[in-house]
A and B are shown apart, each in its own frame.
Chain A
């Protein structure tokens, strides 16, 4: 009985978190956009516009559900659910703190890659079901982009997994700090198993993993259709791309999925490369900073802090760089990132055999 309750409670908590995060992130996004452009952003609703996103969501909830008469009813209705659920399920296997993980599976990373790809399917359903040329164009672009960028994401993850030797995200996070069961070497020469902190993070286990992380970051940016890779949505050319016809709560779900995806890929990057819930503070002699700042609450805190920083960087990039052209997008993916990711994968293999033995 208690088990069932837990199984119901955990998704509800995660859903609540996603909703709250989206409200916060939209506000942060608008504020960052404002500051970057020497504006103030929302200021009128509540103190410093803090209630702006609550007002927005209230507006969206009140709106009528409109079905375009030419739309494919079933696809059109189901698409936002598919898009959101695909991202939502992804949260089930990422750890928040030591052994604090909704589902501790040995194939966690593979599972995430599998379910998050369904997101693309939902977008195609939305674009096709809307029966609108803007939506269809948007979803065509989205599929082309997501299918292409799945490859560098996968390759960069393989390169990392070859070093970690496990697909279990809980174990991957464990092996990047003082709680590790294996020996950790900073850049392959300095044993930091006892020191922990920032030196024990996967990104510093081998020098090429820094490159791998950059590839992962850029490719996931494209995966979640964020600027500068937002050609599927491209407000200025396609109105809203695949979600042109959506309004009200359905649009809210598409929107929720986009921000949930942002946080999910940021968190995944943090877990695999940036130490997960491990503290960035190392043990220095008698100052056991790493020991002091490891634990359940600290773990959640570090996961949050790191992931929100990455989300912040995603927003910063969005308000700096202009949109890619479709051919530039494909060039970057197929001619640059995939070859480099392959090279990194090969280096990972050699590193594992030659250095980490």
Chain B
């Protein structure tokens, strides 16, 4: 009984050793990146799988589910993305404008200034809901994923392009417009 187990153990050990030595010598070459749709995808098992990341990267789609990017010129500051976000990582402050500011590239009329458009990438869970609800498709997910930093606040991406003076000027413009309207009503 015990002898049988031992012989069996030795036989399987030799089998295992042959398997590992095959991999040991197979490590001379790297495994190539291949399309998963190929029929023989799982058959080619030899070679090193490591991708030495900073020096070489795996190919990924241009618009993959990685970090967010906002094309602020196309944004109509509708706040839908901030509302859709399950983790509330998008903070938007808007200032109303007395008249239309301009048009986005798809023809929507912009009536709000984006005083603040912050996305906290440390909170983002990469669900992509904000990109779905965006009416002008100005918020997109990119192929950027390699971002490491020593400061957590570095991960708050500020997409708003307005300076403090500009913000002050625009809000004053709007208050004056409101005041003018009130004054016109009272007359």
Contacts and interface: CB of A to CB of B under 8 A. Distances in A.
Given A321-B13, A336-B2, A336-B6, A316 B48 contact: no
B3 A38 contact: no
B16 interface: yes
B17 A40 contact: no
Given A32-B24, A35-B27, A316-B17, A43 B47 contact: no
Interface residues of A, number: 18
A335 interface: yes
Residue of B3, B19, B26, B48 with most partner-chain A CB within 10 A: B48
Contacts of B24: 32, 35-36, 316
A37 interface: yes
B6 A332 contact: yes
Nearest to A312: B24
**Interface SS, A side:** helix
Nearest to B45: A38
A39 interface: yes
A338 to B, nearest CB: 12
A216 B171 CA distance: 88
B144 interface: no
B52 interface: yes
Contacts of B2: 331, 335-336
A36 B16 CA distance: 11
A40 B48 contact: yes
Interface in A253-307: none
A307 B123 CA distance: 56
Interface in A336-356: 336
A193 B52 CA distance: 55
Contact of B52 (A36, A43, A321): A43
A110 interface: no
5 contacts: A38-B27, A40-B48, A40-B50, A316-B20, A319-B20
Interface of B: 2-3, 6, 13, 16-17, 19-21, 23-24, 26-27, 31, 47-50, 52
Given A35-B27, A40-B50, A319-B20, 6 more contacts: A37-B23, A43-B52, A316-B21, A317-B13, A320-B13, A321-B17
